[in-house]
Amino acid sequence: MNGNLDVVEAALVGNSSAKAALDIALHDLWAKTLGQPVWKLLGGSGADVETDVTISVNPPEEMARDALGAVKRGFKCLKTKVGVGAEIDFARLKAIREAVGPEPRIRIDANQGWEPAEAVRVLNRMADAGFGIELVEQPVKARDLKGMAYVTANSPIPVVADEACWSPEQALNILNLGAANSVNVKLMKCGGLRQARRITAVAESLGARVMIGCMLEGKVSCAAAVHLTSASSCIDAVDLDGPALCSVDPVSGGPQFDGPVIRLGSGAGFGVADVPGVKWNG
């Protein structure tokens, strides 16, 4: 398998999502050939994984309703989008916390939306207000590592690098510069499981933690991320809610996404048995 992964990595510069698709397929084939789940071959436990759920940017009262609905569906951790204006962002978080009460954990994702000084002001204000924010993703522009380091040094809330971190080399640079407390790994962003495992190894070697996330993805690619989560002791924040946001699940087999709980199962590979429209050989 490693030879094939070498070919995928060297095929083109960039194109990380296409490479991730091939990487995931190769890992699935490898594990199915051996009759084992990927998580087991990677040294994982196969234990259930718990994910957060995303609350999209809307008026504060609408976000509060969405957050309360998610809590009623069993989610214990909410990831709230912010970064479109410090004052309205504060109002959004205030409305959400008042709606759901003190128990649910709240993460925020600014998607590069703030300037460094603005980020420090609003994060300190949120902390002083007792919103209990667990972490903030990418508060400033991805290319502004100096600004990220300023926020990380002055924020009471841990900073996670997302758009700034696509590779093991970038993860190493970010963490050595103090530009974030941890990094967000996404298979579509970094190019698949092999690169993701390298990033987690870098983080672990530096004593940092890892958040694992996804784009708007379905079950197959999220299944690969769940198997990686099971095998990585340094991953402590899970944002794999893509399948939970889908109205239907056309895929047979694979992990079960039951609200906030993801159950891996013991099927070979990633456990996926059938994807409509895909012809299987063998």
**Residue 50: strand pairing partners:** 261
- Report the alpha-carbon distance of residue 226 to residue 232 in Å, rounded: 10
Active-site annotation holder among 32, 79, 81, 189: 81
CA angle 258, 264, 269 (to 5 degrees): 135
32 catalytic, yes or no? no
The Cα 123–Cα 25 span in angstroms is 41
Active site residue 81: yes
Neighbours of 206 (CB within 10 A): 14
How far apart, in whole angstroms, are the C-alpha atoms of residue 181 and residue 2?
Answer: 31
**From residue 264, how far is each of 62, 222, 269 by CA, in Å?**
33, 11, 11
Q: Which of 40, 186, 189, 219 is catalytic?
A: 186
* Buried/exposed 219-243: b ≥16 CB within 10 Å, e otherwise: bbbbbbbbbbbbbbebbebbbbbbb
Catalytic residue numbers read 81, 186
